[in-house]
Chain A
Amino acid sequence: MDPLGRTADLQAVSRGGHTVKFVRQTVAVVAVVAVILALGVVWGHSGAAALVADDRGGQLKRFPDGARLPEGFGSVQPGRGDGQNKGNHSLSISNVDDLVQTLFIEGAVLCGVVVIDRSLRQRRRRVVAARVGA
């Protein structure tokens, strides 16, 4: 008997039920993910793909960094995230400002929502208190 008063047989049935439920939910989530990815593929083949397409990556001819271009065009400069950044495969402590920037964005949104939420709740409380007092 377990603390809930179930016999060993009932416990086994309960465990089996949980497993079936978990598998069913996993299948449902994987199906949703597959549908979203399929929508992404359809988007990629539609005219709307240009909305997000990175020109440097596919639609324009890409020259290797440092390549010599025709007379008067100089040479190809590494773009943001290319060359030194994308080529850098390891942790870069000198770029910690990138992490700080991410934390700042998350912190700013979090603080904004908390301030709004608290002020809305206080206003609701004042309204309720005024109604009770009236």
Chain B
Amino acid sequence: MTSSVDQDVRADRRPTPRRVPARTRLDFWLDLVLLIAFTLDYSFNFTGLSIHEWIGLGFGIALLVHVVLHWDWVLRTTNRFLGTMAGRERIRWVVDAVLLLAMTLCVGSGVLISRSALPAVGIHLRSNGFWTGLHSTTADVTVALVSLHVALSWRWILSVGRRIFRRSAAVVTP
């Protein structure tokens, strides 16, 4: 039999989860929000037009913040891409570059063809069939690339996710 004092001593010896830096936590949660927002936004028949457009506008702003936060990485890897770079990193760079292109065009064309969110605030833009077609084409390309973008970072997601959730569980559990 073990006494409660022994149990307390053993609990104290348990390794405490490593502290997750604030910046890593911000990246993790922002990326998760972006993924959920995109998943909802792509499911157009589920969300309906108004929610689709408002999520899209919010997504555009969050995407801008995401790219700004990773701009150092973009510059660093672009320099290395021109020199020597491992195959996996090269694939990631190409996926991210095409994703930035497709997402920007998707959000931009979405703003131009807005029929609910922007007219609701008094903004009426003129669009044509090109922007409607570009919006749906880039959205289809983006859904594949977003999945690939997330999948290429699955080890980071797993490692940070484990640390964040273990830590919060450790904080909750006395």
Interface on A for B, CB 8 Å cutoff? 22, 25-26, 28-30, 32-33, 36-37, 40, 43-44, 49, 52-59, 81, 85-93, 95-96, 98-99, 101-103, 105-106, 108-110, 112-114, 117
Say how far B130's CB is from chain A's closest CB, in angstroms: 4
Which residues of the other chain, A, contact B79 by a CB distance below 8 angstroms? none
B136 on the A face (CB < 8 A): yes
Task: List 24 A-B residue pairs with CB atoms under 8 Å apart, sorted by A's residue number.
Answer: A25-B72, A33-B108, A37-B104, A44-B131, A53-B128, A53-B129, A54-B133, A54-B136, A58-B127, A58-B128, A90-B48, A91-B46, A92-B46, A92-B47, A95-B45, A99-B46, A106-B143, A106-B147, A108-B147, A109-B144, A110-B151, A112-B151, A113-B148, A117-B151
Pick from B51, B64, B127, B129 the residue with the most CB of A within 10 Å: B129
Most buried by B among A28, A55, A57: A57
B153–chain A nearest beta-carbon distance, Å: 10
Specify which of B50, B104, B133, B150 lies most central, judged by the most chain A CB atoms within 10 Å of its CB: B133
Interface residues of B (CB under 8 A from A): 39-40, 42-51, 64, 67-68, 71-72, 100-101, 104-105, 108-109, 115-116, 127-134, 136-137, 143-144, 146-148, 150-152, 154-155
Q: Measured between C-beta atoms, what is the minimum distance from B30 to chain A in Å?
A: 15
Task: Write the nearest CB–CB distance from A115 to chain B, whole angstroms.
Answer: 10
Contact A92 B109 (CB under 8 A): no
Shortest beta-carbon distance from B80 to chain A in Å: 18
